[in-house]
Amino acid sequence: MSWIYLVVAGLFEVAFTSCIGKVKETTGSEMYWWLTGFLVSMSISMFLLIKATQTLPIGTAYAVWTGIGAVGTVLAGILIFKEPATVWRLVFIMTLIGSIIGLKVVSH
């Protein structure tokens, strides 16, 4: 169950970083809605990370959480914010995904 908490926490990390991107692009009441999304997503992400670290090693949990967030944020940047999808960006994202899977495999 801890791994599920951790994956969902990582997805909420992607949500709060995406909200940050939208906050900087908007003004007025729309900005406040994105800011609210940021605060809610961050709170949920942190809560689930804490739940996951009750049984998983903190180093592994934190590395996987940030890895999911990093991969998801780069993909969101490419798909939502129209950032460039260069070959090298994709190669290094795949390397990061391999590292996350490796941590899961070697963790007890």
The pLDDT assigned to 16 comes to 95
What is the structure's pLDDT at 24? Answer: 87
Please state, in angstroms and rounded to a whole number, the distance separating the CA atoms of residues 67 and 99: 8
67 and 10 in contact (C-beta within 8 Å)?
A: yes
Confidence at residue 70, expressed as pLDDT on a 0 to 100 scale: 93
Do residues 71 and 98 lie in contact, with contact meaning Cβ atoms separated by under 8 Å?
no
Length reported for the chain: 108
pLDDT at 49: 98
What integer pLDDT is reported at residue 103 of this predicted model?
85
Q: How do residues 7-62 score in pLDDT, each as one tens digit?
A: 999 999 999 999 998 998 899 999 999 999 999 999 999 999 999 999 999 999 99
* Per-residue pLDDT, 100: 86
pLDDT, one tens digit per residue, over 58-95 is 999 999 999 999 999 999 999 988 999 999 999 999 99
